[in-house]
Structure 1
Amino acid sequence: MRVLLRESDPVRLGFLQALLRDAGLSPLLLDGHISAVEGRIGAFPQRLAVPEPEAAAAEAVLREAGEWRD
């Protein structure tokens, strides 16, 4: 798995997951349990990842949408 980004905003995470799914990719949200345990106050960002073979395509999708942060 390749981690694309770390994010605390659940709305942005949902949007990015939808972008990647619409492109035919398989995003996976990591650290959701720890985020829920801490009350979703943003102390522990969640990680958005994709399978390694999809990493380049996922980065291209996020760049095209203006959502890639170097």
Structure 2
Amino acid sequence: MQEIIRTNDIVVLSLAESLMKDAGIHSMVADQSMSVLEGSLGLLPRRFLVEEDRADEARRILKDAGLEAELRPQRKS
């Protein structure tokens, strides 16, 4: 899995999840249970991960949806 977004914005995460589901790209939000440690304040960002071999496609989909500013820098291969 490759991290492509890190945010505390649950709306961005929800939209990203929906877009990946529609495209058939397996994704997951990591660090959701960290809210127990922080007291549910939403201070710790969640990581949005997608399949390694479809990360470029996922990035294109998110850019087309207007989420380009949310994307993490692309990893060098």
Identity, % of aligned pairs?
33
Size of the aligned set, in residue pairs, is 70
The answer to whether 1:20 aligns with 2:7 is: no
Structure 2 unpaired stretches of 5+: 72-77
CA distance in structure 2 between the aligned counterparts of 1:24 and 1:53, rounded to whole angstroms: 13
Deviation per CA, 1:32-60, whole angstroms, max 9, x where unpaired? 11124323312210000111101011001
Taking structure 1 as the reference length, what is the TM-score of the superposition? Answer: 0.87
Report what 2:9 is aligned to. 9
Q: TM-score, normalised by structure 2?
A: 0.80
In the TM superposition, structure 1's runs of 4+ consecutive aligned residues that sit over 3 Å from their partners are: none
Root mean square deviation, CA, Å: 1.4
Contact 1:35/1:46 (CA < 8 Å) preserved in 2? no
What is the aligned partner in structure 2 of residue 48 from structure 1?
48
Alignment gaps of 5+ in structure 1: none
